[in-house]
Amino acid sequence: MSSFLRLGGTVVMCALAKYRKRKYEVPDERAALKRIAPQGFANLLWAVAKSPGPQLGDMELASFRDVARTALSSQLGDFLPQHLANIAWALARVTASEPPSVGGALPLQEPLLRLEEACCRRVEEFKLQELSNVAWAFATMGEECDRLFEAIGGEAELRLRALDCGSMSWEELADMGLNTLGLVWAARHAGHFRESLRCTAASALLRLGRSLDLKMREGPESLQTTKSPGATWSTGNPQEPFVVLELPDRQVLLKPPGWEVDSYQVDCEADCGSQGSKALLSTFVFSAHPERVARPILRDEVHRRGFLHRLDVPSSGLILLATSYEAYYDLAFQLNSGELIREYVVLSHGWLSPWRSELRARLHAPDGGFGTTEVLARGKPSLTRLKVLLHAVSLGTSLEAFSLLSVRIITGRRHQIRAHVAHSGHPTACDGKYTAQQTFNEDSTWCCRNFLHRNCLVFRDGAGQLRKATAPLPEDLADAMRFLRPRPGGSEAALQQWWEQGNTKMLEWESCQPLAAGQGLPTDARQEAASQPLAAHTGVIQVLTGRQAKPVHGVAALTAMDNGYPSERDQRLQVGIDVFGECVGDTALLASLRSRAAKLSHVPVLFGTHAVGVLMAFCDAGCLDANVLKALSEAIIRNLERIPAQDYIAVLTALANLPPDLQASLPETLLEEVIQALKTRGYGTWRLELEAVVHLLEALQGLRMEDEALLELVCDRLPAALKLSDCSLTLLVRLLEVLGEQPARSRLHVSTHLHRRRKLQTALKDQIVRHVSRGLDLESQVVMARAVARLGFEDQLTQEWLSRLVVMVEPQLDSLSADTACDLSWSLAQLSWQIEWNRRHSQAVLKRLYGSELGSSSSSEASETDPLDM
């Protein structure tokens, strides 16, 4: 306890000092804690959560829990709203990433329920900032607090509707805007961002921005520009910024490398890999158009000089700039509500598994802009989504593997992409902050800077119209791509398409196609590899090790082996995700790697939590055998509590893709342990992502497993995942199809099961309507109809859509493919809709498919053997 109390500094010791019996006597700290006033508890927990330095150790964390439990066991009616908000914030900051204890309960589950109840009862007493802090805290901890968010949302709506901007000072308006945006982020992150709150918050922020414009004597009438949308300010110098898209009150700038987005706080430490001295982006805005200096927001550091987001100095890409306060709060609302889309292209070290679709780890950025962003339990929730586009090998001074990625960030933390990929063992190319100096020096021989470029922004303009700005890969990064040799197979085809069709469309998230998992290498490539000398195999192993990287826990290394076992240096490293699986399919080499894997499985420091990654990689390469599977299974079971929750689904997905003989050899307890751990984490802090849900249900289907409790948990969490996800058509169809197979007893059972879940049914239908309204092609609509029919959606909305689909199909009956025609017939028959039309259509299709065989049947015979009755 004493080591914990020291973390709180002066605040803590002052709180305890008055309870000392003598001047130099060590107090009974537990007894003293019971006598601390509510403000003392709040200050104590806040001070510890705010203290700099590494995250709490086990003893300090246990002491923190004791203090929190003592505080929340008191009479919470004596606590001021500020005290409750500070305690909630501190709990979220310190304990949000804790795994649940045995039985699925959080270590502070009961005290948290008491805190939630107290906040609900007194929600009217909270200031908006305190409401925002409480919402942020519970959203960050992943708590299912429907009642709390309903109360906070309702109270916030009342206050925002009654907002009188004209009577508020500049500082009060700025604070109100910040707190409202924080509330919007928390509600969305928690899955409780209801439409009424969305509309109210958006309207209030626009009024607030307009009021600031008026107070600063910059009304909308002064925001006109002589430039037409799409006009550019450019000197023709690629090292100078220029405007990609210009609108009356907002612009999209292209930032070259070496320029800094001087929003409100500059990076105090020079970023390795930047070119020369840093130039400030605001100076470009002022010099290009001196009249813009008169716009107050461009000089306002509180509002980040109008810049909506940052971009690292050595990186290039698109930056959104607001030239009025109204535009700033409009865009900030879009950013915090998840409507504003940011896309990047990244080249990372190693061959990242195509199965990897997201990186989720809490990030902590040190105060003042010094140092690197770290993955810490006390960091902020951070989520990066990605698609692996191709694998390649560099032609520089050393043989080295790389992956080209298309990336979308859901949160916007400092150095988020660079920290996430480095943490996974795949740092960005030529990154001086997140790779070792040796790696940076080698990368610099063929790549002139950090290979990270923001290539796309999607947002709404002042009239609510969707705008999209894109920027192709700059010449310096395109030149670096010429030093890459693609891996044979899908990567080779992708890189060829890159050079033939240009990279703009290929890199956009919606249009780019991820590399197919489990491709392996073509037969001729395997034969060629088998004929190479052993030295070539050694080179392949070095390529797959992921090179040296910072931080150390993200390194993938198998070098410096001593008699097959790791040296002392290697025991400080962890095996990376893709060391084994993406190698050349040569028998001798694979045998060597299997041997190493089996030996490494006995070294928990190296192999423990990364057994999941090795299992995925082996499955992807199709080179798993029973012995290695057994070793990996044992390592996974031993380290199950230390493995991230999302990796449980990766285990099930990998096992579902195993050949039947290997599935039969699985340890009996592995699947049971993983399923139980998944349910335990699911009842705690873990929030399922939509893609993870689809993978999970598909894996259960492939393993022929049914677990009612797990399905119940998934269905409870699925509506929130559907609201938060940018659900593609392919993903939605996969979800609808796999839901139709759960619990795979009868369609009627599934229909009844889903109809009992109104929230889930509504969320699914909202996604269906969203995609249908986008004007899907005929085949896509038929695929959707089949999925809907499997779930038994028979409401009026579905019937109206199917009626329109029938009208669309009528002129194209003869040109429909057999699969599309049969799927449509089956869907209409399942829903008992358009029966007569479907009968005629089905007979015409069958006649077209089978010709004279069907033509010889009489109409009465056809009626008796109606295919719709089968």
pLDDT of 733 reads 79
- Structural domain tally of the chain? 3
Q: Is the peptide bond before 743 cis (omega within 30 degrees of 0)?
A: yes
pLDDT of 173 reads 92
Rounded-to-integer distance, Cα 430 and Cα 446, Å = 9
DSSP summary character for residue 428: B
Same domain for 273 and 195: no
Same domain for 147 and 27: yes
Using alpha carbons only, give the angle 142, 145, 149 rounded to the nearest 5 degrees.
Answer: 110
Dihedral (Cα; 341, 347, 350, 356), 10-degree rounding: 20
Of all residues in the chain, the percent with pLDDT exceeding 90 is: 16
Whether 516 shows a pLDDT value over 90: the answer reads: no
What digits encode the pLDDT tens for the residues 667-699? 878 888 888 888 776 654 455 677 778 888 888
Question: Is the residue at 562 inside a domain?
Answer: yes
pLDDT of 154 reads 92
What digits encode the pLDDT tens for the residues 489-503? 788 888 888 777 666
Same domain for 602 and 640: yes
pLDDT of 161 reads 92
Question: Is the residue at 799 inside a domain?
Answer: no
Pick 22 or 853 by higher pLDDT. 853
CB within 8 Å of 493: residues ≥ 6 apart:
none
Q: Which two tokens stand for residue 600?
A: 């490494």
Rounded-to-integer distance, Cα 789 and Cα 792, Å = 5
Yes or no: say if 478 and 404 are a contact pair by the CB < 8 Å rule: no
User: Among 631, 648, 666, where does a domain finish?
Assistant: 666
Among the ranges given (122-136, 384-398, 590-604, 714-728), the one the predictor scored with the smallest mean pLDDT: 590-604
Among the ranges given (245-249, 379-383, 462-466), the one the predictor scored with the smallest mean pLDDT: 379-383
Whether 340 shows a pLDDT value over 70: the answer reads: yes
Report the 10 Å Cβ neighbour count for 223: 18
What digits encode the pLDDT tens for the residues 66-81? 777 777 777 777 788 8
Rounded-to-integer distance, Cα 268 and Cα 60, Å = 31
Whether 593 shows a pLDDT value over 80: the answer reads: no
Pick 304 or 99 by higher pLDDT. 304
Average pLDDT over residues 140-146: 75
Whether 862 shows a pLDDT value over 60: the answer reads: no
**DSSP codes, 584-598:** ---HHHHHHHHHHHH
Residue 23: band (very low, low, confident or very high) from pLDDT cuts 50, 70, 90: very low
Question: Is the residue at 726 inside a domain?
Answer: no
Rounded-to-integer distance, Cα 23 and Cα 720, Å = 56
The strand pairing partners of 666, in sequence order, are: none
Same domain for 15 and 156: yes
Yes or no: say if 589 and 583 are a contact pair by the CB < 8 Å rule: yes
What digits encode the pLDDT tens for the residues 263-317? 554 443 344 444 445 688 888 887 766 665 568 888 888 898 899 988 888 899 9
User: Among 666, 696, 724, where does a domain finish?
Assistant: 666
Q: Which two tokens stand for residue 401?
A: 């593997």
Average pLDDT over residues 481-488: 86
Rounded-to-integer distance, Cα 200 and Cα 661, Å = 58
Same domain for 137 and 18: yes
Dihedral (Cα; 707, 710, 716, 718), 10-degree rounding: -100
Q: Which two tokens stand for residue 698?
A: 């598909």
CB within 8 Å of 536: residues ≥ 6 apart:
529
Amino acid at 238: P
Among the ranges given (226-235, 248-257, 422-431, 797-806), the one the predictor scored with the smallest mean pLDDT: 226-235
Q: Report, in angstroms and rounded to the nearest whole number, the Rg of the chain calculated over CA atoms.
A: 29
384-388, 555-559, 634-638, 797-801: which has the highest mean pLDDT? Answer: 384-388
Same domain for 585 and 656: yes
Using the Cα atoms of residue 692, residue 695, residue 701 and residue 703 in order, give the sign of their dihedral: negative
Yes or no: say if 305 and 311 are a contact pair by the CB < 8 Å rule: no
The beta-carbon contacts of 793-798 under 8 Å, at least 24 apart in sequence, are 793/761, 793/764, 793/765, 793/831, 794/831, 794/833, 795/765, 797/765, 797/769, 798/831
Whether 572 shows a pLDDT value over 80: the answer reads: no
**DSSP codes, 600-643:** HTT-HHHHTTTHHHHHHHHHHHT---HHHHHHHHHHHHHTGGGS
Tokens 């109204």: give the residue.
Answer: 326
pLDDT of 264 reads 53
Same domain for 464 and 425: yes
How many contiguous H segments (helices) and E segments (strands) does the chain have?
38, 16
Burial class (CB within 10 angstroms; exposed 0-12, middle 13-18, buried 19+) of 621: buried
Q: Which two tokens stand for residue 59?
A: 């003893």
Whether 756 shows a pLDDT value over 70: the answer reads: no
Whether 752 shows a pLDDT value over 70: the answer reads: no
pLDDT of 826 reads 75
Give the C-alpha distances (Å, rounded to integers) separating 106 from 96, 98, 141, 142, 667: 10, 8, 10, 11, 29
Question: Is the residue at 377 inside a domain?
Answer: yes
Whether 536 shows a pLDDT value over 80: the answer reads: no
Question: Is the residue at 581 inside a domain?
Answer: yes
SS3 for 484? Answer: strand
Q: With CA atoms as reference, report the closest residue to 639 among 420, 647, 578.
A: 647
Same domain for 431 and 315: yes
Rounded-to-integer distance, Cα 600 and Cα 388, Å = 28
Yes or no: say if 537 and 586 are a contact pair by the CB < 8 Å rule: yes
Report the 10 Å Cβ neighbour count for 196: 10
What digits encode the pLDDT tens for the residues 103-125? 333 456 677 888 888 888 888 99
CB within 8 Å of 815: residues ≥ 6 apart:
none
What digits encode the pLDDT tens for the residues 194-249? 889 999 999 999 999 999 998 887 444 443 333 333 434 444 566 788 899 999 89
Among the ranges given (24-33, 248-257, 263-272, 331-340), the one the predictor scored with the smallest mean pLDDT: 263-272
Among the ranges given (134-148, 289-303, 384-398, 542-556), the one the predictor scored with the smallest mean pLDDT: 542-556
Question: Is the residue at 41 inside a domain?
Answer: yes
Same domain for 503 and 412: yes
pLDDT of 166 reads 86
Pick 780 or 547 by higher pLDDT. 780
Whether 531 shows a pLDDT value over 80: the answer reads: no
Whether 329 shows a pLDDT value over 70: the answer reads: yes
pLDDT of 490 reads 82
Angle between helix axes 523-530 and 587-600 (nearest 10 degrees) is: 80
Burial class (CB within 10 angstroms; exposed 0-12, middle 13-18, buried 19+) of 848: middle
Question: Is the residue at 31 inside a domain?
Answer: yes
Q: How confident is the prediction for the chain on average, in pLDDT?
A: 72
31-45, 136-150, 417-431: which has the highest mean pLDDT? Answer: 417-431
Residue 342: band (very low, low, confident or very high) from pLDDT cuts 50, 70, 90: very high
User: Among 507, 534, 558, where does a domain finish?
Assistant: 507
pLDDT of 558 reads 32
Same domain for 277 and 191: no
Q: Is the pTM of this model over 0.85?
A: no
Residue 706: band (very low, low, confident or very high) from pLDDT cuts 50, 70, 90: confident
Pick 421 or 329 by higher pLDDT. 329
pLDDT of 735 reads 84
Burial class (CB within 10 angstroms; exposed 0-12, middle 13-18, buried 19+) of 122: middle
The strand pairing partners of 401, in sequence order, are: 393
pLDDT of 859 reads 40
What digits encode the pLDDT tens for the residues 173-191? 999 999 999 999 999 888 8
Average pLDDT over residues 72-97: 78
Question: Is the residue at 781 inside a domain?
Answer: no
Amino acid at 854: L
Pick 457 or 799 by higher pLDDT. 457
Average pLDDT over residues 786-798: 72
Report the 10 Å Cβ neighbour count for 453: 26
Same domain for 123 and 25: yes
pLDDT of 56 reads 62
SS3 for 391? Answer: strand
Q: 193: domain range?
A: 2-209
Average pLDDT over residues 539-565: 34
Q: With CA atoms as reference, report the closest residue to 580 among 567, 592, 571, 569.
A: 592
Whether 848 shows a pLDDT value over 80: the answer reads: no
* CATH code where residue 474 lies: 3.30.2350.10
Q: Measured in whole angstroms, how far is the alpha carbon of residue 145 from the centre of its chain?
A: 22
Pick 103 or 518 by higher pLDDT. 518
Rounded-to-integer distance, Cα 754 and Cα 643, Å = 32
Same domain for 560 and 502: no
Rounded-to-integer distance, Cα 92 and Cα 306, Å = 30
